[in-house]
Protein backbone atom coordinates (compact mmCIF):
# COMPACT_ATOMS: atom_id res chain seq x y z
CA UNK A 1 0.00 0.00 0.00
CA UNK A 2 1.36 3.38 -0.98
CA UNK A 3 0.48 6.80 0.34
CA UNK A 4 0.20 10.07 -1.52
CA UNK A 5 0.21 13.53 0.02
CA UNK A 6 -2.35 15.92 -1.41
CA UNK A 7 -1.82 19.65 -0.84
CA UNK A 8 -4.68 22.09 -1.35
CA UNK A 9 -4.43 25.85 -1.76
CA UNK A 10 -6.99 28.62 -1.46
CA UNK A 11 -7.43 29.89 -5.02
CA UNK A 12 -6.03 33.22 -6.03
CA UNK A 13 -6.22 32.97 -9.81
CA UNK A 14 -8.75 30.84 -11.65
CA UNK A 15 -7.67 29.75 -15.09
CA UNK A 16 -10.40 28.35 -17.31
CA UNK A 17 -9.26 26.71 -20.51
CA UNK A 18 -11.74 26.04 -23.25
CA UNK A 19 -11.09 23.53 -26.01
CA UNK A 20 -13.15 23.02 -29.11
CA UNK A 21 -13.05 20.24 -31.64
CA UNK A 22 -14.86 18.73 -34.52
CA UNK A 23 -17.82 16.43 -34.25
CA UNK A 24 -17.38 12.83 -33.27
CA UNK A 25 -18.56 11.69 -36.67
CA UNK A 26 -20.90 9.08 -35.24
CA UNK A 27 -23.65 9.53 -37.81
CA UNK A 28 -26.26 6.96 -38.66
CA UNK A 29 -25.91 3.88 -40.79
CA UNK A 30 -27.93 3.21 -43.91
CA UNK A 31 -29.97 0.05 -44.29
CA UNK A 32 -27.68 -1.17 -47.11
CA UNK A 33 -24.70 -1.55 -44.76
CA UNK A 34 -24.44 -5.05 -43.27
CA UNK A 35 -22.37 -6.54 -40.47
CA UNK A 36 -19.62 -8.77 -41.85
CA UNK A 37 -17.50 -9.67 -38.81
CA UNK A 38 -16.78 -8.87 -35.16
CA UNK A 39 -13.47 -8.33 -33.37
CA UNK A 40 -13.23 -8.59 -29.58
CA UNK A 41 -10.59 -6.58 -27.71
CA UNK A 42 -8.35 -6.90 -25.81
CA UNK A 43 -7.14 -9.92 -27.73
CA UNK A 44 -6.45 -12.90 -25.47
CA UNK A 45 -5.65 -11.06 -22.21
CA UNK A 46 -4.41 -12.61 -18.97
CA UNK A 47 -5.71 -11.39 -15.61
CA UNK A 48 -5.23 -12.28 -11.97
CA UNK A 49 -7.74 -14.31 -9.98
CA UNK A 50 -10.43 -12.08 -8.47
CA UNK A 51 -9.98 -9.17 -10.88
CA UNK A 52 -12.05 -8.08 -13.88
CA UNK A 53 -11.42 -7.34 -17.53
CA UNK A 54 -13.50 -5.01 -19.70
CA UNK A 55 -14.02 -6.41 -23.18
CA UNK A 56 -15.03 -4.36 -26.20
CA UNK A 57 -16.70 -5.44 -29.40
CA UNK A 58 -15.97 -3.78 -32.74
CA UNK A 59 -18.08 -4.54 -35.78
CA UNK A 60 -16.72 -4.58 -39.30
CA UNK A 61 -19.28 -3.29 -41.76
CA UNK A 62 -19.61 -4.58 -45.32
CA UNK A 63 -18.87 -1.79 -47.82
CA UNK A 64 -17.04 0.14 -45.09
CA UNK A 65 -13.59 -0.40 -43.61
CA UNK A 66 -14.00 1.34 -40.27
CA UNK A 67 -14.65 -0.22 -36.89
CA UNK A 68 -17.38 0.91 -34.57
CA UNK A 69 -18.21 0.00 -31.01
CA UNK A 70 -21.11 -2.40 -31.04
CA UNK A 71 -23.49 -1.56 -28.20
CA UNK A 72 -25.97 -4.30 -29.11
CA UNK A 73 -23.65 -7.30 -28.71
CA UNK A 74 -24.54 -10.14 -26.33
CA UNK A 75 -21.61 -11.47 -24.31
CA UNK A 76 -21.03 -15.00 -23.06
CA UNK A 77 -18.34 -17.18 -21.46
CA UNK A 78 -17.94 -20.83 -22.38
CA UNK A 79 -16.44 -21.60 -18.96
CA UNK A 80 -18.27 -19.76 -16.18
CA UNK A 81 -16.29 -21.76 -13.61
CA UNK A 82 -13.24 -19.76 -14.72
CA UNK A 83 -14.78 -16.41 -15.75
CA UNK A 84 -18.24 -14.92 -15.82
CA UNK A 85 -19.25 -11.96 -17.98
CA UNK A 86 -22.11 -9.49 -18.04
CA UNK A 87 -24.29 -10.31 -21.03
CA UNK A 88 -24.68 -6.65 -21.95
CA UNK A 89 -21.72 -4.97 -20.20
CA UNK A 90 -18.80 -7.05 -21.52
CA UNK A 91 -17.15 -6.97 -18.08
CA UNK A 92 -15.60 -10.34 -17.19
CA UNK A 93 -14.80 -11.47 -13.65
CA UNK A 94 -12.08 -14.05 -12.95
CA UNK A 95 -13.44 -16.84 -10.75
CA UNK A 96 -10.78 -19.57 -10.93
CA UNK A 97 -7.50 -20.36 -12.67
CA UNK A 98 -7.82 -21.52 -16.26
CA UNK A 99 -9.08 -20.19 -19.60
CA UNK A 100 -12.46 -19.12 -20.89
CA UNK A 101 -13.63 -18.24 -24.39
CA UNK A 102 -15.32 -14.83 -24.28
CA UNK A 103 -17.74 -14.36 -27.18
CA UNK A 104 -19.61 -11.32 -28.47
CA UNK A 105 -22.61 -12.05 -30.68
CA UNK A 106 -24.72 -9.73 -32.80
CA UNK A 107 -27.36 -11.45 -34.85
CA UNK A 108 -25.70 -14.39 -36.59
CA UNK A 109 -22.18 -12.89 -36.39
CA UNK A 110 -19.80 -13.46 -33.49
CA UNK A 111 -16.20 -12.87 -32.45
CA UNK A 112 -14.21 -14.05 -29.47
CA UNK A 113 -11.08 -13.74 -27.35
CA UNK A 114 -9.49 -16.22 -24.96
CA UNK A 115 -9.24 -14.99 -21.37
CA UNK A 116 -6.55 -16.58 -19.21
CA UNK A 117 -6.93 -16.40 -15.43
CA UNK A 118 -3.68 -16.81 -13.47
CA UNK A 119 -2.82 -17.29 -9.82
CA UNK A 120 -0.91 -14.00 -9.70
CA UNK A 121 -1.37 -11.97 -6.51
CA UNK A 122 -1.28 -8.23 -5.87
CA UNK A 123 2.18 -7.20 -4.64
CA UNK A 124 2.06 -3.37 -4.74
CA UNK A 125 -0.08 -0.35 -5.60
CA UNK A 126 1.07 2.87 -7.25
CA UNK A 127 -1.12 5.96 -7.01
CA UNK A 128 -0.94 8.79 -9.55
CA UNK A 129 -0.61 11.72 -9.60
CA UNK A 130 1.98 11.56 -6.82
CA UNK A 131 1.81 14.95 -5.06
CA UNK A 132 -0.87 17.09 -6.71
CA UNK A 133 -1.99 20.51 -5.54
CA UNK A 134 -5.50 21.70 -6.38
CA UNK A 135 -7.61 24.74 -5.66
CA UNK A 136 -10.23 24.82 -2.94
CA UNK A 137 -13.51 23.48 -4.28
CA UNK A 138 -11.84 21.64 -7.16
CA UNK A 139 -11.63 17.90 -7.75
CA UNK A 140 -8.74 15.57 -8.55
CA UNK A 141 -8.97 12.13 -10.13
CA UNK A 142 -6.55 9.57 -8.74
CA UNK A 143 -5.57 6.35 -10.48
CA UNK A 144 -4.36 3.19 -8.76
CA UNK A 145 -2.15 0.75 -10.69
CA UNK A 146 -1.62 -2.67 -9.17
CA UNK A 147 1.40 -4.89 -9.80
CA UNK A 148 0.61 -8.60 -9.82
CA UNK A 149 3.12 -11.41 -9.67
CA UNK A 150 2.92 -15.19 -9.82
CA UNK A 151 6.57 -15.52 -8.80
CA UNK A 152 7.96 -15.50 -12.32
CA UNK A 153 6.03 -12.88 -14.29
CA UNK A 154 4.88 -9.46 -13.09
CA UNK A 155 2.04 -7.59 -14.77
CA UNK A 156 0.29 -4.29 -14.05
CA UNK A 157 -3.40 -3.44 -14.12
CA UNK A 158 -5.52 -0.37 -13.53
CA UNK A 159 -7.30 -1.16 -10.24
CA UNK A 160 -8.84 2.27 -9.63
CA UNK A 161 -12.33 0.79 -9.51
CA UNK A 162 -11.30 -2.17 -7.32
CA UNK A 163 -9.30 -0.27 -4.70
CA UNK A 164 -10.75 1.03 -1.45
CA UNK A 165 -9.92 4.74 -1.25
CA UNK A 166 -9.60 6.82 1.91
CA UNK A 167 -8.54 10.26 3.13
CA UNK A 168 -6.89 10.77 6.51
CA UNK A 169 -8.46 14.23 6.83
CA UNK A 170 -12.01 14.35 5.51
CA UNK A 171 -12.36 17.94 6.68
CA UNK A 172 -9.79 18.83 4.01
CA UNK A 173 -10.68 16.34 1.29
CA UNK A 174 -13.00 13.42 0.69
CA UNK A 175 -12.49 10.68 -1.89
CA UNK A 176 -15.12 8.59 -3.61
CA UNK A 177 -15.62 4.83 -3.53
CA UNK A 178 -18.82 5.13 -5.57
CA UNK A 179 -18.99 3.23 -8.85
CA UNK A 180 -18.29 5.59 -11.74
CA UNK A 181 -16.31 8.07 -9.62
CA UNK A 182 -13.85 5.83 -7.75
CA UNK A 183 -10.72 7.73 -6.73
CA UNK A 184 -12.22 11.19 -7.28
CA UNK A 185 -11.20 13.70 -4.60
CA UNK A 186 -13.27 16.71 -3.61
CA UNK A 187 -11.44 19.51 -1.75
CA UNK A 188 -13.37 21.03 1.15
CA UNK A 189 -10.84 23.28 2.93
CA UNK A 190 -7.28 24.52 2.61
CA UNK A 191 -4.70 22.12 4.02
CA UNK A 192 -3.20 18.70 3.38
CA UNK A 193 -4.67 15.20 3.29
CA UNK A 194 -3.08 11.80 2.78
CA UNK A 195 -4.90 9.75 0.15
CA UNK A 196 -4.66 5.97 0.42
CA UNK A 197 -5.65 3.12 -1.90
CA UNK A 198 -5.76 -0.39 -0.48
Question: Which pLDDT belongs to residue 141?
Answer: 96
Average pLDDT over residues 10-32: 37
Q: What is the pLDDT of residue 62?
A: 61
**Distance between CA atoms of residues 35 and 4, nearest Å:** 48
Looking at residue 106, its pLDDT comes to: 85
Residue 37: the pLDDT is 82
- Nearest Cα neighbor of 145 from 166, 167, 130 is 130
| Comma-separated ranges of CATH 2.60.40.1080 domains in the chain | 35-118
Q: What is the pLDDT of residue 148?
A: 84
Considering the segment(s) 35-118 as one domain, its CATH architecture is Sandwich (2.60)
Percent of the chain with pLDDT over 90: 44
The C-alpha atoms of residue 62 and residue 188 are separated, in whole angstroms, by: 53
Neighbour order of strands in the sheet with 109-118: 46-48, 109-118, 98-106, 74-77
* pLDDT over 70, % of the chain: 76
Tens digits of per-residue pLDDT, 96-108?
Answer: 989 999 999 988 8
What is the pLDDT, as a whole number, of residue 69? Answer: 47
What pLDDT, on the 0 to 100 scale, is given for residue 57?
87
Q: What is the pLDDT of residue 79?
A: 96
- Assign 129 a pLDDT band (cuts: 50, 70, 90): very high
Amino acid sequence: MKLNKLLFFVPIILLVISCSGGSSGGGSETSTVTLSSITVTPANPGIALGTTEQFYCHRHLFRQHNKRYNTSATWSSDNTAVATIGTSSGSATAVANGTAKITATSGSISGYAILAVTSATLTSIEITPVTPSIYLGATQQFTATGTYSDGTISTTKDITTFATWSSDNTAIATISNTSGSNGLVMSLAAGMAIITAS
